[in-house]
Amino acid sequence: MSAPTGTAAPVRPGATAPHPRLSVNQATIKYATLPEALDTVRRAGVGAIGTWREPVAELGLADAVRRVADSGLRVSSHCRGGFFTLPEGTARQRALDDNRRAIDETAALSAAGAAGSAPVLVLVAGGLPAGSRDLTGARSRVADALAALVPHALDTGVQLAVEPLHPMYAADRAVVSTLAQALDLAAPFPAAAVGVVVDTFHVWWDPALAASIARAGAARRIASYQVCDWTTPIAADPLLSRGYPGDGHVDFGPVTDAVVDAGYSGDVEVELFNQAIWDTPPADVVARVVASFAEAVPLPR
| Contacts with 103 (C-beta within 8 Å, 6 or more apart), sequence order | 81, 121, 149, 152, 153, 156, 158, 160
Nearer to its own copies, 142 or 277 (CB): 142
For position 167 contacting its own copies by CB under 8 A, the verdict is yes
Give which of 234, 221, 227, 230 is closest to 192, Cα–Cα.
Answer: 221
Q: Which stretch binds its own copies (CB under 8 A): 4-12, 19-27, 204-212, 257-265?
A: 204-212
> Which residue stretch of 16-24, 58-66, 206-214, 261-269 sits at the interface with its own copies (rule: CB under 8 A)?
206-214
DSSP of 29-54, one letter per residue? GTTS-HHHHHHHHHHTT--EEEEEHH
Mark 218-257 with x for binding to its own copies (rule: CB under 8 A) and - for no binding: ------------x-xxx-x-x---------xxxx--x---
Contact segment (CB under 8 A) with its own copies among 56-64, 73-81, 177-185, 282-290 equals 177-185
For its own copies, the closer CB: 48 or 209: 209
Instruction: Tell which residue, 189, 197, 244, has the closest CA to residue 77.
Output: 197
Cβ proximity to its own copies: between 43 and 173 the closer is 173
- Least Å distance, CB 70 to its own copies, is 41
Q: State the Cα–Cα distance between residues 41 and 37, nearest whole angstrom.
A: 6
- Of residues 110 and 200, the one with the C-beta less far from its own copies: 200
Nearer to its own copies, 55 or 127 (CB): 127
Task: Give the nearest distance from C-beta 272 to its own copies in angstroms.
Answer: 17
**Count of CB atoms situated within 10 Å of the CB of 175:** 26
Q: What is the CA radius of gyration of the chain?
A: 18
Size, binding site for its own copies by CB under 8 A: 34
| Sign of the torsion angle spanned by Cα atoms 274, 50, 39, 104 | negative
Q: Which is nearer to its own copies, 31 or 205 (CB)?
A: 205
Provide the β-strand partners of residue 79.
Answer: 52, 122
Q: How many CA atoms lie within 13 A of 256 on its CB side?
A: 22
Site for its own copies, rule CB under 8 A: 128, 133-136, 139, 166-168, 170-172, 176-178, 180-181, 184, 204-208, 230, 232-234, 236, 238, 248-251, 254
